[in-house]
Structure 1
């Protein structure tokens, strides 16, 4: 699993603005920022995914994860793989493509997407948090 963290502690003005919000508003703003960053990586992973039938790229999604500890938000990119093999929302074989098998070399697309867009995802998250803060503080 690929892990990356975006910490707003060094950005004094954003941190102060987040402290002014209620808990619900603050959590919502953090989730929106995390989701925006994950969306950038999702789009790049879809672009890099092999396009035989298009099923794999359609099933790469950005998800928001509930975090119960403190003031945090988490989002990530995953490939849907539930249900029967012929289900259009099941791309179970993504692991074989990404990691390879004994008969097939790996053709990674998720890790290179993350490596290529990590900085852009962080910038998108910060931009979204700033935009959401401005919207909430104007009320």
Structure 2
């Protein structure tokens, strides 16, 4: 369930980006999308719940630290920013299992449980933090993207 924001009426902006050349336009688009993504990412970190009481197999703040944003330029030339919870690598999981002689669910650094928090379970109500962060900041992020694009295009054009 991916949510997107689409800003329309930017034909002049698109034409200006094409005039700059592919490298410059990609650099500008990535910079703008990162600024917008950072706004949503920071709000998601603020919304993410933390542990209230101490649990031996969980560490407070693991979920907040794992929320990251990633910006990519696709083969079609579109620039996308993804905000999500970064899981542990296979090496990190195997290292923990070998050292602790326990399953991965006991790893205090693994935020695998984010899905249960975001969407809920049969025994726990949902406490969405990613979806609400997007809904709360999508207009602010879109404005930041547009402002950054405008400034960078003008800066690149004055070179």
Give the TM-score normalised by the residue count of structure 2.
0.77
> RMSD between aligned alpha carbons?
1.8
Aligned to 1:4: 4
Match of 2:117 among 97, 103, 107: 97
Q: Hey, what's the Cα distance between the residues in 2 that align with 1:6 and 1:34?
A: 13
Task: Please list, as runs of the form range in 1=range in 2, the aligned pairs for 1:8-47 lying within 5 A after superposition.
Answer: 10-47=9-46
Shift of 1:12: 4.4
Structure 1 gap segments, 5+ residues each: none
Ranges of 4+ aligned residues in structure 1 off by more than 4 Å: none
Tell me, yes or no, if the aligned pair for 1:2 and 1:111 is still in contact at 8 Å.
no
Shift of 1:27: 1.3
Task: Please list, as runs of the form range in 1=range in 2, the aligned pairs for 1:60-75 lying within 5 A after superposition.
Answer: 60-69=67-76, 71-75=77-81
Paired positions, count: 136
Aligned to 1:116: 136
Give the TM-score normalised by the residue count of structure 1.
0.87
Aligned to 2:158: 138
